[in-house]
Amino acid sequence: MKTILEGDVVKPLVVSLLALSLSGIACRGGQAISSDWTPRVEPLASPAGRASAEPQLTSSNRSVVLSWLESEAAETTLKFSERTANGWTEPRAVQSNRSLLANWADVPSVFRLASGTLVAEWLQETDPAAEAYDLRMASSNDDGQTWSQPMSPHHDGTTSQHGFASMFEMASGSLGIVWLDGRSMKEREEMSLRAAAFDRERNQLFEDAVDTRVCDCCPTAAAVTSDGPIVAFRDRSDDETRDISVSRFINDSWTEPVAVHHDGWHLNGCPVNGPALSANGRDVAVAWFTAPNDDGRAFVAFSGDAGKTFGEAVRVDNSRSLGRVDVDLLSDGSAMVSWIELGDSGATFMVRRVERSGKRSQAATVATLGASRSSSYPRMARRGNELLFAWTSSDSVQVQTAIARLP
């Protein structure tokens, strides 16, 4: 379908005058934020040490947790710190060994469940020559002082790639996780998206395929609506269209994946650029990157029915984007969206607020970044009225953090 770009909103053929006239605030059960409000980003001392990279921020009802990898000699250590009213907690180690895999795009994470349990996931090399690795998980009931014996959510027994995981908490208090699974790569050259769940005692409940043909190495995203879990990922069609799709966990099974927006990006390879996802009740926001005709752009789309359908795609970047997006819904139904902007002077980590109508705040700069992959994926998460950011500084090779406070 032919599309035109009118203002900041992508619309099929005819521009909706009604949508363009909605310049007010969408108040959906929360305090409205002024339309002209612009985020003010301030530096925040990072808990990560020197030689740190691969940051991740996870947000739950309990807290925001920052995790990262630190390397010393030939050993790599997964560490984490939690954001509290008194600042970052003292960093603690989860796992440390020589075969812990460090990947600029496929990063580990630590997640706090409502019960207080901490759960960590990371990558463990199994065959470096074959570029094979397993996804490993462990839990802690004493705030990370001790950890359980590591386990894997996949049981295929293949020497292949398992990674790009996203964890989430189900309504029952059980832990859910999705990941990219390469068990069929040798036979069919197809990566699949799989999911598993564990009860409160960490007994595995199931392992299912969500989609049997997805992009090989794009990060995944997961969130939980009032209807249940939803996952977002870069799909892969038979004609190599690699648009963003979602699947919802309804009646104990995953729904048929549905495209968030038909970008029509045909690519014979993986762009290593996944979507971001946020949910609040039945409200959902998905942010993503696409580059048809090598024109990189970042978008966000909203849903009011728990991800069953999505509205128009709203462009987020100013002129050209490298993607690596993140998104966080606010209580008034708008969303904070971050991305990497590409300009004549280099790459910039930026953030702005986007309303459902397509109205956007001014963009705020979080940090200037190097053009290399060492800048990794910048991260964003919200804790109350704090908007937290994390990224890797290419100058010092160290995880940096910043903060913006919501009104």
pLDDT computed for residue 26 by the predictor = 37
Decide if pLDDT at 33 tops 80. Answer: no
Residues sharing a CB contact under 8 Å with residue 225, sequence separation 6 or more, in sequence order: 248, 279, 281, 282, 283, 284, 306, 307
What mean pLDDT is predicted for residues 262-280? 96
pLDDT computed for residue 14 by the predictor = 27
Decide if pLDDT at 217 tops 70. Answer: yes
What mean pLDDT is predicted for residues 30-49? 84
Decide if pLDDT at 17 tops 60. Answer: no
pTM (global) more than 0.95: no
Sheet with 297-303: strands ordered across: 3-6, 9-12, 313-315, 297-303, 283-290, 276-280
Confidence label for 395 from pLDDT (cuts 50, 70 and 90): confident
Confidence label for 16 from pLDDT (cuts 50, 70 and 90): very low
pLDDT computed for residue 371 by the predictor = 56
pLDDT above 90 covers a percentage of the chain that reads 79
CA distances from 173 to 23, 116, 254 (A): 39, 11, 19
pLDDT computed for residue 231 by the predictor = 98
Q: How many CA atoms lie within 13 A of 175 on its CB side?
A: 26
Decide if pLDDT at 346 tops 70. Answer: yes
CA distances from 234 to 115, 173, 335 (A): 32, 28, 21
Confidence label for 31 from pLDDT (cuts 50, 70 and 90): low
pLDDT above 70 covers a percentage of the chain that reads 90
Residues sharing a CB contact under 8 Å with residue 1, sequence separation 6 or more, in sequence order: 12, 13, 262
Decide if pLDDT at 188 tops 90. Answer: no
**Which of 17-21, 96-100, 223-227, 271-275 comes out lowest in average pLDDT?**
17-21
Instruction: Give CATH for domain 60-360.
Output: 2.120.10.10
Confidence label for 61 from pLDDT (cuts 50, 70 and 90): confident
The more confident residue out of 326 and 8 is: 326
The more confident residue out of 73 and 249 is: 249
The more confident residue out of 407 and 241 is: 241
**Residue 18 main-chain phi, psi, to 5 deg:** -65, -45
What are 143-186's pLDDT values in tens digits?
Answer: 999 999 999 999 999 999 999 999 999 988 999 999 999 999 88
pLDDT computed for residue 375 by the predictor = 59
What mean pLDDT is predicted for residues 15-34? 40
pLDDT computed for residue 185 by the predictor = 84
pLDDT computed for residue 255 by the predictor = 98
Confidence label for 372 from pLDDT (cuts 50, 70 and 90): low
pLDDT computed for residue 8 by the predictor = 43
pLDDT computed for residue 32 by the predictor = 66
Mean residue pLDDT of the chain comes to 89
The more confident residue out of 61 and 291 is: 291
What mean pLDDT is predicted for residues 359-368? 95
Rg (CA), the chain: 20
Decide if pLDDT at 25 tops 50. Answer: no
The more confident residue out of 27 and 125 is: 125
